[in-house]
Structure 1
Amino acid sequence: MSHTLPLGAETVTFELPDCRVSVADAPGGEAVDVRTAAQNAVADPHGPALADAADPDDAVTIVVTDVTRATPDDVLVDVLVEELARVGIAREQVTVLVGLGLHRPMTDAEIADAMGEYAAITRNHDPAETVRMGAVDGCPVEVHESVADADLLVSTGMVEPHQYAGFSGGAKTVAIGAGSESLIGYTHGPEMLGRDGVRLGRVDGNPFRETLDSAGDVVGLDFALNVTHGPAGILGASAGDPRAVVRDLAAVGREALSVPVTDEYDAVVAGIGAPKDANLYQTTRAATYVALGDRNPLRPGGRVVLPATLPEGAGDGTGERRFYDRLSNAESASALYEEMLEGYDAGAQRAFVTARVLREYDVYVTNSRSPAVVEDCLMHAAASVEDAVEPGSDVLLVPDALNTLLVSPD
């Protein structure tokens, strides 16, 4: 029997004839029309309406997601601009800022593709252009000057499973995406990531999530328009108060993405696809989601197999370079993990959680254009999925690993 997984914008097909293969297919939910769902969400928001918060003379900044998120930002921004026009705010009063965090800047072509008619008013965030707005837990909260100077601050976002925040979206687009290294370093440091409640899929009682929400208060995020997605596509939209938006869409996401797991497996083959498999930094999310989620399905000494294209190698942003430097210069995963417990630069946290997984499990990346980079980073490169899975293995196939929550049975 053949199996098919995403690989970049296409697919890869493989056979594991000597293995016992189970498939973790999330329920998936039902896709909605993005524009209609967004318009309905803006018309019936959590808290005050956007039109009530706006003044005709306002300078507006809309912070959107970057190329690592599959957010339909062009549609969401169009819905927001149409709503702002109802109170007399012209397009010339609006700035769209790409929330990069420490990821690489988007190219002009990528911005044009992502933002369509709004590309001309869209710019990349630059962490060097930040100003201090206040502090959370003694940590400075600094954001891009176009965010600080805005009379009205709005954000888009994708509420999807996130290793630390539980689910992304809400204030994260602004506080991290348009922020500086200070908050990124604090929230992604070993002390925060070691706290109880900082877990994939958890929103309530999650200190990471609570810190982001508090930073959103400091910055003055007025209104959020977010969506969530699953295998079927965009599953819903929610607007208004950022905390309520995340809770609302996280509930939709959990229902659509949760798969109970009872058995243990020698190998988990995890599908990723574009845009996340563009570099190794993003690709390793699938391995950590599998091994560090609610229900780890791996037997001791098992392996995670990740088909990924990796046209960008390890990745080109500051965080991606720090990830590569840490892993490629490490003697072993265990040594790196112990070393990083003492602290690390913002952006290197993905090396920390990847090392945490690699202490116990092997990670194989297959079908990539950058096998040398994979091998540099304490992982194994293989030409195909078949080459990475030992005959006779019990295998769990997770077709959409970044949109699947492996959970313990009730």
Structure 2
Amino acid sequence: MELPLGTETVDVQLSEYDVTVAEPTGGDSVDVRRAAERALEEPLGRPLASTVDPDGDVAIVVTDVTRTAPDDVLLEALLERLLACGVDRERVTVVIGLGLHRPMTDDEIESMLGEHADLAVNHDPDTVVEVGRISAASHDSSDGSDDVPVEIGEPVADADTVLSTGVVEPHQYAGFSGGAKTVVIGAGSESLIGYTHGPDMLARDGVRLGRVEGNPFRETLDEAGDLVGLDFVLNLAYGPAGVLDVQAGEPRRVVRELAAAARDAFSVPIDRQFDAVVCGVGAPKDATLYQATRGATYVALGDRNPTRPGGRLVVPAALPEGAGEGTGERRFYRRLRDASDADSLYDELRRGYEPGAQRAFVVARVLRDHDLVVTDTDSPAVVEDCLMQAKPHVTDALEPDDDVLVVPDALNTLFVDG
């Protein structure tokens, strides 16, 4: 069996085990460029021409290197549409939505955006402007805060029109990513990241993988997007066969439309639990331990956990960048490295943590019930530092009598009751 590892695959021999493979089968692929043009012609809500001032400045926020997206194709389609609306290319700034991840290099930006790389700037989370405040009480907060500042990077705050590309994919907290999230988190500051990713928010019932409606995390992002002035988005969703659909228009409507399609495509019924669950990740997520652990947490903390209590989650991950070099990644690593055990770390983080450390909180939550084993990695010492186990290969993480579930694409599989 071939499983993703970095940009390639690793051969895993599981003939000696009782193996079940979880592979979503729904959805056909579309041509991204044609689908983007169709979406811009038939948007959900107002057309782009009615949202832009031809004489104004435009900021387009795009995803960073941690997400797989044809940003060059989506950006090209948007730029052509803007030109048709009378907006010259020179009035456009492309902002790379880093959040608290590391800046992208010039080579990475050129590889991602091609001939439009010259328009791009990395978001600087230390250079932001407050554009409004969100009432924490309206989201049933118990942390004593009256409101939360919404701060956004200067290129976005200074723009007359704010647009975004993005991917609507399963997300641990937002239900699905995309929409306002690309802008308010990707081009925002620690204030909103700290609030939305804090233990009070993440402990709420509605904050979970695959849920959009009734999700306080998603509601907060959408409200922040209104304050930022996010006018129009061009997003896509993946399916098992490739890009499933592309939609454009009003951010909330786009997310809900694409999330519904993706949920149908990625759902896998499950009627029992397994001794070991092998979670495929691959590039770009398995470049860092911070991102690769999503494979395990998405499986274990979804609506239906297929891993038995005390069972193992096994993640093949290359980890060429170790834990990761961004601010959030370093905080994640320090929290896990300095912890004595998962229970005490969870209790400590439940009382609060700095933005970025939320991934340590979620990992600790999983580690209280399951072992997490990372295999085939370039950074075994980093893994062992973080309350996890490192093994050479997937089979080294399995026991002879294990009932094994293999999830080739753990980040895009939603388990439901069978």
TM-score of the two chains, using structure 1 as the length reference:
0.98
1:338 lines up with 2:343 in the alignment: no
Aligned length in residues = 407
Q: Which runs of 4+ in 1 moved over 6 A?
A: none
- Cα distance in structure 2, aligned partners of 1:101 and 1:51: 29
Aligned to 1:175: 184
Q: What are the equivalent positions in structure 2 for 1:7-406 lying under 5 Å apart?
A: 7-137=5-135, 138-406=147-415
- Cα distance in structure 1, aligned partners of 2:14 and 2:51: 57
Distance 1:48 1:156, change over 3 A: same
- Cα distance in structure 2, aligned partners of 1:190 and 1:18: 42
Structure 1 residue 199 displacement after superposition: 0.5
Secondary structure at the aligned position of 1:54 is classed as coil
| Paired letter, 1:324 | Y
Structure 1 residue 4 displacement after superposition: 1.2
| Paired letter, 1:219 | V
- Cα distance in structure 2, aligned partners of 1:244 and 1:374: 40
Structure 1 residue 231 displacement after superposition: 2.6
Structure 1 residue 159 displacement after superposition: 0.2
- Cα distance in structure 1, aligned partners of 2:212 and 2:25: 21
Structure 1 residue 30 displacement after superposition: 1.0
| Paired letter, 2:333 | Y
- Cα distance in structure 1, aligned partners of 2:160 and 2:311: 53
Structure 1 residue 136 displacement after superposition: 1.0
- Preserved CA contact (<8 Å) 1:198 1:208: yes
For the aligned residues, what is the CA RMSD? 0.7
- Cα distance in structure 1, aligned partners of 2:21 and 2:127: 47
- Preserved CA contact (<8 Å) 1:148 1:219: yes
Structure 1 unaligned residues grouped into runs of 5+:
none
Structure 1 residue 233 displacement after superposition: 1.2
Structure 1 residue 18 displacement after superposition: 2.7
Structure 1 residue 391 displacement after superposition: 1.0
Structure 2 unaligned residues grouped into runs of 5+:
136-146
Secondary structure at the aligned position of 1:186 is classed as helix
Secondary structure at the aligned position of 1:15 is classed as coil
- Cα distance in structure 2, aligned partners of 1:54 and 1:297: 47
What does the per-residue CA deviation read over 1:265-320, in whole Å, with 9 as the maximum and x for residues that have no partner?
Answer: 00000111100000000000011011100100111110000001000000010000
TM-score of the two chains, using structure 2 as the length reference:
0.97
Percent of aligned pairs sharing the same letter: 65
Secondary structure at the aligned position of 1:256 is classed as helix
- Cα distance in structure 2, aligned partners of 1:387 and 1:315: 25
What does the per-residue CA deviation read over 1:236-286, in whole Å, with 9 as the maximum and x for residues that have no partner?
Answer: 101110000000000110111000110110000011110000000000001
Structure 1 residue 28 displacement after superposition: 4.2
Secondary structure at the aligned position of 1:132 is classed as strand
